[in-house]
Structure 1
Amino acid sequence: MLPWRMAVVGLFYFCIRAGVTQYGTQALFPSVSKMKRGATSVVRPSFHHSIADVHLLFEILLTGIHFEASGEFSVQDAELASLRKTRNLELICEEVVPKKLSEVFRLIAGLSRRTGRLHQEDFERTLLTLVYTAQGMVNSSSEHQRSMWADSFVSLYKFIKQDLTE
């Protein structure tokens, strides 16, 4: 009788844990659920699926990317910008990455409540948000805004560093 109870309790715990994990992932980037369905067939867009994709992302970041004030994303290198994978990165940067300071601070609050390692998609999106905050810091017009962007950059950097060193 006791093993059956243990199995039921274990199954119940597993279901709750899976639900909490899924909820936590969606809460970090709520814009994923609000994405335009016609834009892509991917429900949870992610840029990298292999080590070659990671190298491509690194190359794209090294050659230079730019976020327009309107929220549009562009890659400086024309050859890299023409790749199909870059269009997927463009979708993530334009639709998923938070663009307002309030959204970035909401992400930081969500990361501070989180335990354990980030999922691949969340790590990637947090890294791209870090890149966006760096550009926001450089493009700020006032010292107060620059300070706010800098604070968010430092916080995101600490979460990424913590996730890498766990």
Structure 2
Amino acid sequence: ISWRSKCCLYCFSATDSNLSFSPAMLFPAAQRYKRSLSALVSPVLQNSLDDVDMLFEFLLAELEIDKGLKISIKDEELASLRKAKEFDTICNDIIPKSITEIRRLSVRLSNYPTVLKKEDFERTVLTMVYTAYRAAQSRKHQKAVWAESFISLYKALKHDLMFSHSKKPLH
């Protein structure tokens, strides 16, 4: 079954009264973003192997997080690419930035009943990158809090990868 089919199956099963979990709840900012720009769909960076390479290049390039928590790519040439604009939107308008929001995301992920959609997986990875950066920039107690959040996100992604692997049909 493709990830789209799984998503559709999940959406149909979500109408069951016993299931009160909504997949839109993982990244509420994505829903707000989608509503404010109704003509656009929620941005996704990785649609091909080239896109994955480009994301890797963004992450290897020096990122900057200013005092307002805005994330930007320092390399002007990379920053001018169309994919960099989508990266900017996801990092600055969609992923959570506060420790409270990140902890909330971790709890939601730990209770997620199915395999993550690719955009949710991607956003979780970018949230992990942000969390690692904040841990590296913090001191003592705050460093421990950020590191703990990073580990929670890592465990959620590891669980998702193991869950998706166990659900694939044997050939």
Separation in 2, partners of 1:32, 1:131:
18
Name the SS for the 2:132 alignment partner. Answer: helix
- Indicate how the Cα distance of structure 1 residues 105 and 14 shifts in structure 2: closer, same or farther if over 3 A, else same: closer
Amino acid at match of 1:31: A
TM alignment of 1:61-140, pairs within 5 A:
61-140=59-138
1:17 counterpart (13, 17, 26): 13
Separation in 1, partners of 2:89, 2:100:
21
Name the SS for the 1:66 alignment partner. Answer: strand
- 2:147 corresponds to: 150
Amino acid at match of 1:72: K
Question: Does the 8 Å contact 2:27/2:94 carry over to 1?
Answer: yes
> How many residue pairs get matched?
151
Question: Does the 8 Å contact 1:73/1:93 carry over to 2?
Answer: yes
Amino acid at match of 1:161: K
- Indicate how the Cα distance of structure 1 residues 19 and 45 shifts in structure 2: closer, same or farther if over 3 A, else same: farther
Shift of 1:16: 4.0
Amino acid at match of 1:111: L
Name the SS for the 2:125 alignment partner. Answer: helix
Amino acid at match of 1:46: V
Shift of 1:97: 0.8
TM alignment of 1:35-46, pairs within 5 A:
35=33, 37-38=36-37, 41-46=39-44
Amino acid at match of 2:36: R
Shift of 1:51: 1.4
Q: What are structure 2's unaligned runs of at least 5 residues? A: 1-8, 166-171
- 1:6 corresponds to: none
Taking every aligned residue pair, what percent have the same amino acid on both sides?
40
Amino acid at match of 1:149: W
Structure having the higher Rg = 1
- 2:169 corresponds to: none
Q: What are structure 1's unaligned runs of at least 5 residues? A: 1-12
Separation in 1, partners of 2:121, 2:140:
29
Asked if 1:34 is matched to 2:32, the reply is yes
